[in-house]
Structure 1
Amino acid sequence: MAVRKRLPFPRQLLIVSSLACLVACTQQQGRDMLTQFGNGKPDELFQTSVDRMATLAMRDNLQSLYLLMNKLYLRNPNQWRQSGYLDATTAARQIRIAIEQRQPLAQLGERRDLAALSYALSPEFRGDRVGAFIYAIGSMLVTAHGGRTEFYMTDTLDPLFIYNAARNIEKATWMLGQRQDANGVLLLFSNEISEQGSNLSFAVEFGKVVARLDLLTQMLDERYRRIGLNYAQSLLLMNFLPVQ
């Protein structure tokens, strides 16, 4: 009769503990996945990882613009008074609606995107320059993303347009700190470096927008490059392409 050797008690305890930990970890991971799935929206099922990132980046970029708008109104309180609204909060809300619903801004006429940006930073403009400036950048961002703020599998994003939008924001940031009226006074006060202190928060926030756009550009370039490489590899290996 074969004699079955029993493992030493410490080794048995180690094995049991390891199995218990594995089961607990698996259960926790399962609960975490269910929680994440439950917190998601149904339409996320129709988004690739890049689509989801583009959607989140657009959300964060618009939030950055709205933050900058509020800060500009604080630095330039005379501007919202030219908007025709009762207070800066109301003016900011109307700008947000115009950007997200792609509505024209009365003080800019039919100008959008780059035409609106050039006009908003010109000495000839008369009106709420803060609102016009933020609206111009916001409408340019939406246009560069194909006129949408949320993205799905059926949508196509052109990385070149998004790259160009990032460069335009860099130029607009520089112009914001340089453009002056006929008396040599800045059209809008933003960043400040003086003996009393420094305030570079505007440049920092604009930098975040540019960084998100550049990252999205690289991811889109890589995605389309991989699609091309996968097709080239299939030709090289004489493989049929999958149909499902």
Structure 2
Amino acid sequence: MTSVPAVPDAAASLSALRVSVLSGLLALGLVACSSAPTHHGEVEGESFHSRELLQSDSNRMATLAMKQNLESLFLIMDKLYRRNPNEWKKTATSREAAMTYVRIAIMERQPWHELQGKRDVAALSLALQPEFKGDRVAAFIYAAADMLVTSHGGRTSFTLIDGLDPQHVFNAARNLEIANWILNSRKAPTGQPLLLSNQMSEDARNLSFEREIGKIIGRLDLIADYTTERYRRSVIGYAQGLVAGPFMQFLPVR
């Protein structure tokens, strides 16, 4: 008798296919898991210092925000110098030396010679004039930093005896927004931008300058809102104590 060839079981073939697909997906998953994620840094706190004993939580918050805002300005200065190398050549023989000079002038509250003795918003206005001939990067960063420090009462570190005017801090944030708009819109007499900052073209987009300015503005707004709320809650807490005081007294039990 002639034997008939066996017909493959369709259900068995489908089951084998499923097992093969699942095995492939599992292998891909294991490969992806074995790849280390990109490291984006870690949150780092400062070492304890005795001056912190003289700081409240709000003092500490304002101090850290000021430190970060100044560091952001120094980072912006580096970016601007890299895109505008002719500017640092007006101040020093190298980009690094020019940055050092500006940093020292800011941290030690020394006047910047090209700003004609002007400080605060007057210096910022002069640095953004199309006719300004000096190192515009240095003048802009110095004036912006001086404006920030002035809005915080002339201090970069705060203790229990220091206070902040939230409206001044709020105004500083708006001043930076205006300065950013001027840099992106005003032209030099030659028709070129005052400074090359953001890059938006068909070939590349670099908005790192814009993002760093946005970080400073965000911190300033947070400090302004927090300070306003702290003062408001202090008044409310005092009023609550006056109103609720008579009802919160313990009653005699004997």
Deviations 1:5-53 (A, max 9, x none): xxxxxxxxxxxxxxxxxxxxxxxxxxxxxxx9x9311110110011001
Cα distance between partner residues in 2 of 1:161 and 1:186: 30
Mapping of residues 21-170 of structure 1, within 5 Å: 39-83=47-91, 85-170=92-177
Determine the C-alpha separation between the residues in 2 that align with 1:110 and 1:207. 28
Q: Residue 33 of structure 2 aligns with which residue? A: none
Instruction: Name the structure 1 match of 2:20.
Output: none
Instruction: Name the amino acid aligned to 2:85.
Output: P
| C-alpha distance after superposition, 1:85-118 (max 9, x if no partner) | 2211111111111111111000111111111111
* Higher Rg: 2
Shift of 1:238: 4.8
* Unmatched tracts of structure 1, length 5 or more: 1-35, 240-244
The separation in 1 between residues aligned to 2:231 and 2:104, in whole angstroms, is 33
Say whether residues 1:230 and 2:237 are aligned partners.
yes
> How far off its partner does 1:235 sit?
2.5
Q: What TM-score, normalized by structure 1, do the two folds share?
A: 0.80
- Does residue 172 of the first structure (1) align with residue 174 of the second (2)? no
- Distance of 1:71 and 1:148 partners within structure 2: 26
Which amino acid in 2 is paired with 1:54? Answer: A
Identity %: 51
Q: Distance in 2 between matches of 1:183 and 1:77?
A: 17
Pairs aligned (count): 202
Q: CA deviation at 1:236?
A: 2.0
3-state DSSP of counterpart to 1:39: coil
- For 2:102 and 2:78, the matched residues in 1 are separated by 11
Partners of 1:123 and 1:176 in 2: CA distance: 10
Task: Give me the whole-angstrom Cα distance separating, in 1, the residues matched to 2:117 and 2:89.
Answer: 22
* TM-score where L is the length of structure 2: 0.77
Contact 2:166/2:227 (8 A) holds in 1: yes
